[in-house]
Chains A and B, each alone.
Chain A
Amino acid sequence: MTTFERHSLTPWLLLAPQLVVVAIFFFWPAAESLRQAFYVQDAFGLGERFVGLANFQHVLASPGYWHAFGVTALFSLLVAAGAMGLALLLAVLADRVLHGARLYRVLLTWPYAVAPAVAGLLWLFMFDPVLGVLTHALAAIGVHWDAQLDPGQALALVVIASIWQQMSYNFVFFLAGLQMIPASLLEAAAIDGAGPFRRFFGITLPLLSPTAFFLLVMNSVYVLFETFATIDSTTLGGPGGATRTLVYKLYEDGFVGRDLGGSSAQSVLLMILVGVLTFIQFRYLERRVAY
């Protein structure tokens, strides 16, 4: 401690590269979009006009925004629950494997290394309404698959692709969490007569709660922001806006529609939303976490 107080410059110097990166790639753009949210500007930046809160009013008054909000809520819930539930199941199973454990772990971690756009395209090919392998398989059991036209199927497609991507990340953390649980605890419980389910819900799950909490925060952020590439490469937000999440709408308005003010206002709202979500998670959920 005393060393740091004497060399007050050194820690800052060591942090400097990281701080510069954060300032340039996060704070600067964030400040810029905060400013633009209060202006109306043409695409080329030839002129701009201060409009106060008008951009926010337009966004909040548009039914399209609330529709995207609903889609995002449903989508987030499905992806977070699916990606965490499946990852936990797989981690518990992989934790028990005695032979070839490494192989299973590598295979289950693999999807995370695939770029979201590539993963999206792979799923798109498999589910292509005309040429897809899975489309033909589904047709054989009497399901007419056309994600280009059926809103439910389109949502299912992006949910599956997103879960597949995020599951590996969760898997790695759950597996590490499981391996940190001392075997002696579980053995003691087994000697006391606790069955596998009792052991899982009474010991394993509570001890995993810090991991699960961390993953919940990370998954919320993932669903809100990083599923963009998956959606952009598969459904483009369609059909009929069934897969247009808040981030996708923001992109469409900003980069396709070139409404910089409106999309900046949306990004400010999204920042607030993520802040509130994280606050709630830390304030209320973290109390139930046993470290």
Chain B
Amino acid sequence: MRLSHLLPFVAVTALSLSPSAQAATTITWWHAMEGVLGEKVNAIADEFNASQDDYVVKPVYKGSYSDNLTATIAAFRAGQAPAITQVFEVGTATMMSAKGAIYPVYQLMQDTDTPFDPDAFLPAVKSYYTSSDGHMLSMPFNSSTPVLYYNQDAFAKAGIETPPKTWAELGKDAHKLVESGAAECGLTTAWPSWTQLENFSAVNDLPFATQANGFNGTDARLVFDQQPATVAHIQDLAEWQKSHAFEYGGRADNGTKRFQSGRCAMLTTSSASRAGIQEAAKGKFGFGIAPLPYDAKAVSQPRNSIIGGASLWVMRGQSDKVYQGVAEFMNFLSSPAVQADWASFTGYVPITTAAYQRLKDDGFYAKTPGASVAIDQLTRGTPDDNSRGLRLGNMPQIRNIIAEQLEKAFNGSETAAQALTDAAERGNQELEQFERSVSN
């Protein structure tokens, strides 16, 4: 090939290496937001990329939260970790204990002289990602909390005027709904461990585990089985299961479809499911959103519920230039404009007070009934040891164990007390294993 033939290629290559493209540093962001949420993530990155020339944020969808955590760990071990990775709330303890693998966000912001005020975040959000010595280790991104969805048509048919406030009221309503023929089933739930144990404990001010639910040390052990109110609650659900006042709908968000199909008249699930439920209920039935019920025998004033969702962790092994960009991107992400947009679009709660204020001023909560339930429930009172959140190692595995044991209680093969005792015992083995593995 003669040189003249090569010239066009050289020209094209030279063009593509124009100064701005050459200078831009790529920041990889692994996440687990699928479907419309994934598109929104891409839009946020595009907006940031368009706002400056120095950095290009590249979001990569890696599958479920669990898949992404596995991928991140494998990549880190191979020296190929992304700059930013999204980790679900129950993976927090795993990430916090991986001191050599993560670049704590507070430190990153300090090192890069980027403004960062942890107090800008809602207390329930901030506390979940803050270490015991008071530093915020990851950047909150998408936070939600469980709420009660109810089918307004079924409620009207059964002659129930207001959604239940307590579990006792809910039990009465659920039976009434089934007996009157207004619905085939009263209540179902998604994320059984998160809604019926973790949040039940927080709202009713009962300990889920020792050491302030793990915030004070990795030697925490599960104690939810020793709380009479918690055991009674699971026993109630198991009783209701027999008469269809409650129907177990499976793990993860499987239970949602029993509500969406109109079979069950009530559902406890994430506030972030609002858009999906709205879509499914359109033309079929009207629905309302109410706070998660509390147990009036256990607590007079319900506490704040705890969050679910995920935060963004910065991984070690990148250049200073990349970290400078990561800091700028984090700053952009937590800005009121981005957060308000993200929250109103998705049903996640705004994670900063400024974003919350902005949504309020825009009239978002007035226009969208039920959207304020989650944020009100998260921000009521001051988080205490029982409602700050959970910081337990191997939590994804523990959730599986709990789901499994709840299944035994709901199918009647074990009493609630027995099922929960076994769950705590098996869960504690996981905690012991975690404690051993991080004390190397």
Interface set of A (CB-CB < 8 Å, partner B)? 40-49, 58, 62, 64, 129-131, 148-151, 236-241, 252-253, 255-259, 261-262
Chain A residue with Cβ nearest B394? A257
> Mind listing 15 A-B residue pairs with CB under 8 Å?
A42-B98, A44-B98, A46-B99, A49-B440, A148-B249, A149-B410, A150-B411, A151-B413, A237-B404, A238-B251, A240-B407, A240-B411, A241-B404, A252-B400, A259-B433
Chain B residue with Cβ nearest A152? B411
Known: A42-B438, A257-B433. A240 touches B404 (CB 8 A): yes
Interchain nearest-CB distance for B316 vs A (Å)? 10
| Among candidates B77, B249, B404, B413, residue contacting A44 with C-beta atoms closer than 8 Å | B77
User: What residues of chain A lie closer than 8 Å to B99, measured between beta carbons?
Assistant: 46
Q: A41-B437, A257-B433, A261-B437 are in contact. List 16 more A-B contacts (CB 8 A).
A: A40-B437, A44-B73, A46-B100, A46-B440, A47-B440, A129-B250, A130-B258, A148-B254, A238-B403, A239-B408, A239-B411, A256-B66, A256-B397, A257-B394, A257-B397, A259-B437
**Is B396 an interface residue, CB under 8 A from the partner?**
yes
Number of interface residues of B (CB under 8 A): 40
Cross-chain contact A262 with B433 (CB below 8 angstroms):
yes
The B interface, classified by DSSP as helix, strand, loop or mixed, is helix
Cross-chain contact B263 with A130 (CB below 8 angstroms):
yes
Known: A252-B400, A253-B397, A256-B66. A131 touches B73 (CB 8 A): no
**Is B216 an interface residue, CB under 8 A from the partner?**
no
User: What residues of chain A lie closer than 8 Å to B70, measured between beta carbons?
Assistant: 255
Chain B residue with Cβ nearest A244? B404
Q: Which residues 396-435 in B have Cβ within 8 Å of A in the complex?
A: 396-397, 400, 403-405, 407-408, 410-411, 413, 426, 429-430, 433
Cross-chain contact B66 with A130 (CB below 8 angstroms):
no
Cross-chain contact A148 with B429 (CB below 8 angstroms):
no
Q: Which residues 289-331 in B have Cβ within 8 Å of A in the complex?
A: none
Query: In the assembly, what is the distance between CA of A151 and CA of B404, in Å?
Result: 11
**Is B243 an interface residue, CB under 8 A from the partner?**
no
**Is B211 an interface residue, CB under 8 A from the partner?**
no
Cross-chain contact A130 with B94 (CB below 8 angstroms):
no
**Is B76 an interface residue, CB under 8 A from the partner?**
yes
User: What residues of chain B lie closer than 8 Å to A45, measured between beta carbons?
Assistant: 76-77
Cross-chain contact B250 with A148 (CB below 8 angstroms):
yes
Query: In the assembly, what is the distance between CA of A253 and CA of B429, in Å?
Result: 12
Query: In the assembly, what is the distance between CA of A42 and CA of B93, in Å?
Result: 12
Interchain nearest-CB distance for B80 vs A (Å)? 13
| Among candidates A64, A131, A253, residue contacting B257 with C-beta atoms closer than 8 Å | A131
User: What residues of chain B lie closer than 8 Å to A42, measured between beta carbons?
Assistant: 97-98, 437-438, 440
**Is B261 an interface residue, CB under 8 A from the partner?**
yes
**Is B129 an interface residue, CB under 8 A from the partner?**
no
**Is B436 an interface residue, CB under 8 A from the partner?**
yes
User: What residues of chain B lie closer than 8 Å to A148, measured between beta carbons?
Assistant: 248-250, 254, 407
User: What residues of chain B lie closer than 8 Å to A49, measured between beta carbons?
Assistant: 440
Query: In the assembly, what is the distance between CA of A131 and CA of B256, in Å?
Result: 12
Query: In the assembly, what is the distance between CA of A238 and CA of B436, in Å?
Result: 28
Chain B residue with Cβ nearest A43? B73
**Is B60 an interface residue, CB under 8 A from the partner?**
no
- Could you say which of B77, B94, B394, B411 has the most chain A C-beta atoms within 10 Å of its C-beta? B411
CB within 8 Å: A-B pair count: 94
| Among candidates A41, A62, A130, residue contacting B429 with C-beta atoms closer than 8 Å | A62
Interchain nearest-CB distance for B81 vs A (Å)? 9
Q: What 0/1 pattern do residues 240 to 269 of B give for CB contact below 8 A with A?
A: 000000001111001001100101000000
Known: A43-B98, A256-B400. A149 touches B411 (CB 8 A): yes
Query: In the assembly, what is the distance between CA of A258 and CA of B91, in Å?
Result: 11
User: What residues of chain B lie closer than 8 Å to A257, measured between beta carbons?
Assistant: 394, 396-397, 430, 433
Chain A residue with Cβ nearest B73? A43
Chain B residue with Cβ nearest A257? B397
Query: In the assembly, what is the distance between CA of A43 and CA of B397, in Å?
Result: 14
Known: A42-B98, A44-B73, A45-B77. A238 touches B404 (CB 8 A): yes
**Is B24 an interface residue, CB under 8 A from the partner?**
no
Cross-chain contact B437 with A43 (CB below 8 angstroms):
yes
**Is B280 an interface residue, CB under 8 A from the partner?**
no
Cross-chain contact B397 with A238 (CB below 8 angstroms):
no
Q: What 0/1 pattern do residues 368 to 411 of B give for CB contact below 8 A with A?
A: 00000000000000000000000000101100100111011011
Query: In the assembly, what is the distance between CA of A62 and CA of B422, in Å?
Result: 13
User: What residues of chain A lie closer than 8 Å to B229, measured between beta carbons?
Assistant: none
**Is B168 an interface residue, CB under 8 A from the partner?**
no
Interchain nearest-CB distance for A234 vs B (Å)? 11
Query: In the assembly, what is the distance between CA of A62 and CA of B426, in Å?
Result: 9
User: What residues of chain B lie closer than 8 Å to A150, measured between beta carbons?
Assistant: 411
**Is B41 an interface residue, CB under 8 A from the partner?**
no
Interchain nearest-CB distance for B256 vs A (Å)? 10
- Could you say which of A240, A241, A256, A261 has the most chain B C-beta atoms within 10 Å of its C-beta? A240
User: What residues of chain A lie closer than 8 Å to B254, measured between beta carbons?
Assistant: 148
Query: In the assembly, what is the distance between CA of A149 and CA of B66, in Å?
Result: 24
User: What residues of chain A lie closer than 8 Å to B251, measured between beta carbons?
Assistant: 236, 238
Interchain nearest-CB distance for A158 vs B (Å)? 15
**Is B101 an interface residue, CB under 8 A from the partner?**
yes
Interchain nearest-CB distance for B360 vs A (Å)? 38
Known: A44-B76, A238-B404, A258-B73. A131 touches B438 (CB 8 A): no
Q: What 0/1 pattern do residues 339 to 371 of B give for CB contact below 8 A with A?
A: 000000000000000000000000000000000
User: What residues of chain B lie closer than 8 Å to A41, measured between beta carbons?
Assistant: 437, 440
Query: In the assembly, what is the distance between CA of A62 and CA of B432, in Å?
Result: 13
Query: In the assembly, what is the distance between CA of A40 and CA of B98, in Å?
Result: 15
Query: In the assembly, what is the distance between CA of A49 and CA of B435, in Å?
Result: 13
- Could you say which of B263, B407, B438 has the most chain A C-beta atoms within 10 Å of its C-beta? B407
| Among candidates A131, A240, A256, residue contacting B408 with C-beta atoms closer than 8 Å | A240
User: What residues of chain B lie closer than 8 Å to A62, measured between beta carbons?
Assistant: 429
Query: In the assembly, what is the distance between CA of A28 and CA of B250, in Å?
Result: 39
Interchain nearest-CB distance for A43 vs B (Å)? 5
Query: In the assembly, what is the distance between CA of A42 and CA of B94, in Å?
Result: 9
Query: In the assembly, what is the distance between CA of A240 and CA of B254, in Å?
Result: 16
User: What residues of chain B lie closer than 8 Å to A236, measured between beta carbons?
Assistant: 251, 400
Chain B residue with Cβ nearest A62? B429
Interchain nearest-CB distance for B416 vs A (Å)? 14
- Could you say which of B98, B249, B429, B437 has the most chain A C-beta atoms within 10 Å of its C-beta? B437
Interchain nearest-CB distance for B166 vs A (Å)? 26
Cross-chain contact B405 with A240 (CB below 8 angstroms):
yes
| Among candidates A151, A255, A259, residue contacting B411 with C-beta atoms closer than 8 Å | A151
Interchain nearest-CB distance for B402 vs A (Å)? 11
